Amino acid sequence: MQLGFNGATTQTADLATDIHVAGQAGYDVIELRDGKLDQFLAQGSLDDVRRMVREANVAAWTINAIDRVGVDGAVGTARAVARCRELSRYAQAIECPWVLVVPGPTDGRTDAQVTSDTVATLREMADAAAEFGISVAFEFMGFPWAAVRDVAGAWEIVQEANRPNLGIIVDTAHFYAGGSTLESIREVDPGRLVVLHINDVEDVAKPDITDGHRLYPGEGVIPLQDILGAVRATGWDGVVSVELFREEYWQQDPLVVAREAKARTVAAWERVLRGGRRTRI
């Protein structure tokens, strides 16, 4: 397992701070937020980013995220593909293999329409990314409004899109909120699972869960033992990346947050390795 740090965990810090604290806290990889990257590039260069990542002794793993994938018709597809091409150019320059993308709202569409729209857009995005040697990671979202809410739906779309540089991301908060099943994890090709985002959530009704309810792993109600255990049982041994959107954490020292997040993530993974007690989803 490689340990990843997502810049959403320290959302109010800048890109340079994210990279620095990821290295100081001992993470293996970092997931860069595209907005922070844009802000940095207004004054700095891609060479600067690559240098900072190398000096921090971490690897850039994803740039995220492009949203509203598969919505707004031809205009939306053109927007998504153009942004994917831009971020893929950045990714190539900073030696980052993946660009992360997420779905938009259902907007009254049927499941079949959502699948068709998302597949078509992802194919174009993957083809654009391939021009730069970059791959696209599709992450479902468990919110009630989201068009693709669970592992099964996301994996069906990735398979139908049928691009070698297209993978899937599983986020434990979205897994829990969207009602994904452990059985659906077993259907996913472990070679296509790009990142496992780890986090926990407060004890609120699943339809009411927002990103703001996220907690450090082990502090909430998500059955992390079950989810992590199911992923590990597939033979997967990839990047487990902590991604939190909690304003309380944003107000704290970024290095303190990064270190605490790492400790909680390592503890959660070690419980799985020890075969600790599990609960039912």
Q: What is the pTM of this model?
A: 0.95
Q: What's the mean pLDDT in 259-272?
A: 94
Q: Are 166 and 136 in contact (CB under 8 A)?
A: yes
State the residue for tokens 């060479």.
Answer: 47
**Mean pLDDT of the 38-54 span:** 98
Whole-number pLDDT of residue 281 = 41
The CATH number given to 2-273 is 3.20.20.150
Average pLDDT of the residues in 166-188:
98
Whether 77 and 112 have beta carbons less than 8 Å apart is answered as: no
**Taking 90 as the threshold, does the pLDDT of residue 275 lie above it?**
no
User: Are 194 and 168 contacting, i.e. CB atoms less than 8 angstroms apart?
Assistant: yes
> In the predicted model, what is the mean pLDDT of residues 183-208?
98
**pLDDT tens across 143-155, in order?**
999 999 999 999 9
CA distances from 197 to 44, 56, 73, 151, 216 (A): 29, 22, 29, 13, 12
